[in-house]
């Protein structure tokens, strides 16, 4: 109820702001402020459809797909389960921000935390939309497409394996999300929530996930916009022809621009002639798994310690991948 009131107040404030400022020309705001608003809004607009799509698919997985069906089709061997789940993105072509609610749905459905992490990291890359757009942008040139697909698969499974060694994987989750999972499962496994009709539970879950995801998305987008305004792209481009700095600079760019994996290939295509292919591959792999917006979204689910380890492994693996591609390309 409080959230509803806050939302209504914010919406009313925005309407009033629009009415008050409608007569002002475009130059009323400083250039950097306009850039910030444009960049932050563009990230929100670009991500929003995928977030809603992810939430909807997550709800379908949680409440409408039978448990037996999901678990029957999955292998029993842990590493093989992670391999299979890292390819599930082929069936669910949602970009990385939409995969966070979906990964949460998987955990609530009974998948282990390492499996959900594997899916979360692999699905933005190993899905048909991302593969096709990357192919359209780069074809088979310099091993960029192959590097992205193979690198994404290996890194996601590496992270899944490392976290599968955790003695209490549920400790990787935030207390709030773990509590939600316990409520979902219930004391007997059917769950207290199980007493409610599925449709009602779906609506409630949609509201809960939306209220969790959207603030994180907006905060992440604002941070992305602010960093882009503050960090000169000219500096990034100047570093492009160095085998080391090309990788590090484009990873930093990927972290900052927080662009969806479905379209990031076309974004970086403009840098393709300036930067070495290893940098492009690192951008396409690292940015699809970790960026400033994803950090805030993942923080709704995983503890800070878990995120630090995840980001460290993904970043180092992406660096190694980028350096390796620069070496052989």
Partner 1 sequence: MSTEQQPTEQPPTTGRPATARRSSDQPTKRGADRRWRRYRRTTTATIAALALLSVGLGAAAVLRGPTIDSASINLPAVIARDGQKLVLHADQSLAPITPDQVSVSPAAPVDVTASGPDVTLAFSGLLDYATTYHVRVDRVVGADTGLSGSLDYSFDTPDVPVYTLLRQGGAAARDPGRPEDQVLRSGIAAGPDATSEVVFEAPHILQYAVTDVALAAIVADDQGNTSLEVVPDGGSAVTVPTPTGARLQNLRSSPTSRLFGFTVSGGADAAGTPYQDAVFVFDPLSASGRADPVAGFGGAPLPLVDWRFVPGTSSLVGQGSDQQLYLVDPLKGGEPTPLGRHTQMRGFLPGGVQLVVADGEGESTIDLSTGAVTALPVFVPVVDPKYYPKKIVVQAGGVTIRQYDDVDYSSDSPVAASVIALADAAGTRELYRSTTAGSRVRDFCVSPNGQYLAVEVVPAGALNDGYALPGYSDMSTYFVDIASGATTRGVAGFLPDWCG
Longest CA pairwise span in the chain (Å): 64
Please say whether the beta carbons of 282 and 32 come within 8 A. no
φ/ψ of 286, rounded to 5, equals -65, -45
- The angle at the Cα of 131, spanning 129 to 136, to the nearest 5 degrees, equals 95
**Closest by alpha carbon to 232, among 43, 32, 37?**
32
Q: Least Å distance between CB 153 and partner 1? A: 16
Q: Least Å distance between CB 316 and partner 1? A: 4
Instruction: State which residue, 17 or 67, has the beta carbon closest to partner 1.
Output: 67
Instruction: State which residue, 109 or 293, has the beta carbon closest to partner 1.
Output: 109
Q: Least Å distance between CB 293 and partner 1? A: 24
Residue environment code for 126-157, b if the CB has 16+ CB neighbours within 10 A, otherwise e? bbebbbebbeebbeeebbbbebbbebbbebbb
Instruction: State which residue, 59 or 181, has the beta carbon closest to partner 1.
Output: 181
Instruction: State which residue, 44 or 85, has the beta carbon closest to partner 1.
Output: 85
Q: Least Å distance between CB 243 and partner 1? A: 4
Residues 6+ apart with CB under 8 A from 23: none
Instruction: State which residue, 13 or 312, has the beta carbon closest to partner 1.
Output: 312
Q: Least Å distance between CB 227 and partner 1? A: 24
What is the contact surface with partner 1 in residues (CB under 8 A)? 76, 78, 81, 107-108, 110-112, 114-115, 142, 158, 162, 164-170, 178, 181-182, 184-185, 189, 241-244, 273, 276-278, 309, 312-313, 316-317, 319-320, 323-324, 326-327, 329
């Amino acid at each position: 109820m409080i959230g509803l009131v806050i939302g209504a107040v914010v919406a009313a404030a925005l309407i009033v702001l629009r009415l008050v400022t409608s007569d002002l020309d475009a130059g009323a705001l400083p250039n950097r402020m306009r850039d910030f608003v444009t960049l932050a809004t563009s990230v929100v607009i670009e991500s929003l459809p995928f977030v809603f799509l992810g939430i909807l698919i997550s709800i379908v997985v949680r409440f409408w797909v039978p448990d037996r069906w999901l678990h029957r089709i999955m292998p029993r061997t842990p590493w093989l389960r992670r391999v299979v789940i890292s390819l599930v993105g082929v069936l669910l072509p949602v970009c990385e921000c939409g995969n966070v609610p979906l990964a949460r749905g998987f955990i609530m459905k009974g998948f282990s935390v390492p499996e959900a992490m594997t899916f979360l990291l692999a699905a933005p890359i190993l899905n048909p939309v991302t593969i096709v757009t990357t192919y359209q942008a780069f074809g088979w040139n310099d091993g960029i497409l192959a590097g992205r697909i193979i690198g994404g698969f290996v890194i996601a499974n590496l992270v899944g394996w490392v976290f599968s060694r955790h003695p209490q994987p549920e400790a990787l989750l935030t207390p709030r999300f773990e509590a939600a999972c316990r409520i979902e499962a219930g004391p007997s496994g059917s769950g207290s929530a199980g007493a409610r009709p599925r449709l009602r539970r779906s609506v409630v879950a949609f509201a809960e996930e939306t209220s969790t995801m959207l603030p994180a998305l907006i905060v992440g987008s604002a941070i992305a916009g602010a960093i882009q305004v503050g960090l000169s792209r000219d500096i990034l481009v100047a570093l492009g022809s160095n085998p080391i700095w090309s990788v590090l600079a484009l990873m930093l760019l990927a972290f900052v621009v927080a662009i969806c994996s479905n379209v990031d290939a076309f974004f970086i295509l403009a840098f393709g002639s300036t930067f070495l292919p290893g940098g492009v591959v690192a951008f396409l792999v690292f940015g699809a798994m970790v960026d400033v917006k994803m950090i805030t979204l993942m923080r709704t689910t995983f503890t800070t310690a878990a995120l630090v380890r995840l980001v460290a492994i993904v970043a180092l693996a992406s660096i190694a991948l980028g350096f390796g591609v620069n070496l052989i390309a």
